Amino acid sequence: MTAGDVIGTGICSLEARQGASFDGTDDYILADAHAVARVAANDTTGTYSAWIFVDNNTISQTILSSGDFNVDEYLQFHLSSDLLSIKVTVAGVTKFETRQVTANIPSNKWTHVAIVQDGIQPALYVNGLKVTTSNITATNLTDWYDELTGCDKFAIGILERNGTHVSDFAGMISDVKYWNKPLTAAEILADYKGEALSDDGTYLQLHLLKYGSLTDVGLGANDGTLTGNAYLNGYGSEWSRKIDLSGAVVADNITSVAVSDGYKRGAISAIVKAA
């Protein structure tokens, strides 16, 4: 091996976003005031959206949840492996669990997800488009915060359930939002495209992790708090989350090139050379 020999290359297309990182072991963000406010408002309809980056889509993990510290009562927006799901349990009884039919939540890639409860039945969206769902349980598909009367905990990245923390998220989460109204399909698509809605000033009650910030820029002013080893990342992407190089690296001479379209996306390549 001589100087200049290439011993490893890597090419990575990326979409980078600011948000929070979770290692999958008791890492989460708390914003309990949000759950308290939604229960007090007796919301019968609502919409959550978020951008997620999953390290491993073969395991079940929670995107966000509202729960009760003393009673088995919760709302869980989660992944059942690589299937998006929404579940509501009241007094230990699952009222509904709705899950997408065809898996399309990838590992190591930013994905926009949303749940809409319109007071009739929940709908799920992936990357701005409504997905086909099935009801695992359908005792009462209309339940929402109006039935979650004891919920006083809200968390991003973990399931708050009866004073326990389970179903940890491993990866990154960005731009968590809640509107106290059911968004239309056109409004979900606009949110996916990064466009503000005309009536955000009336309905957007929660907006955490915008630009990687724990300050709530929604109407609720429910700031978040990091717990465990969760941390705010800069622009997180597949490249920054994990770099894979082939061959043995015997020198640290790395050449990298980044090309960006000016809005969150780009490509990076690296060449590792012998000294």
Residues contacting residue 261 through CB under 8 Å, at least 6 positions apart: none
Among 149, 127, 142, 168, residue whose Cα is nearest residue 42: 149
* pLDDT of amino acid 133: 97
As a whole number of angstroms, the distance between CA 275 and CA 257 comes to 19
As a whole number of angstroms, the distance between CA 270 and CA 268 comes to 7
Question: Which value, in Å, is the radius of gyration of the alpha carbons in the chain?
Answer: 20
**36 phi/psi in degrees, rounded to 5:** -60, -45
* pLDDT of amino acid 267: 43
- What token pair was written down for 2? 């001589």
Could you read off the pLDDT tens digit of each residue along the chain, which spans 275 residues? Answer: 455 554 444 444 467 899 999 999 999 999 999 999 999 999 999 999 999 999 999 999 999 999 987 778 999 999 998 999 999 999 899 999 999 999 999 999 999 999 999 999 999 999 999 999 999 999 999 999 999 998 999 999 999 887 778 889 999 999 999 999 999 999 999 999 999 999 999 999 999 999 999 999 999 999 999 999 999 987 877 656 654 334 454 555 544 444 444 444 444 444 444 44
Q: Which amino acid is at 220?
A: G
Residue ranges of domains in the chain, CATH in brackets: 6-14+237-273 (no CATH), 19-233 (2.60.120.200)
* pLDDT of amino acid 250: 52
* pLDDT of amino acid 252: 53
Taking the alpha carbons at both ends of the chain, their separation in whole angstroms is 9
- DSSP, collapsed to helix, strand or coil, labels residue 143 as coil
* pLDDT of amino acid 244: 37
As a whole number of angstroms, the distance between CA 218 and CA 130 comes to 24
Beta strands of 153-242 (E only): which ranges? 153-156, 159-161, 164-166, 170-179, 204-208, 225-227, 231-236
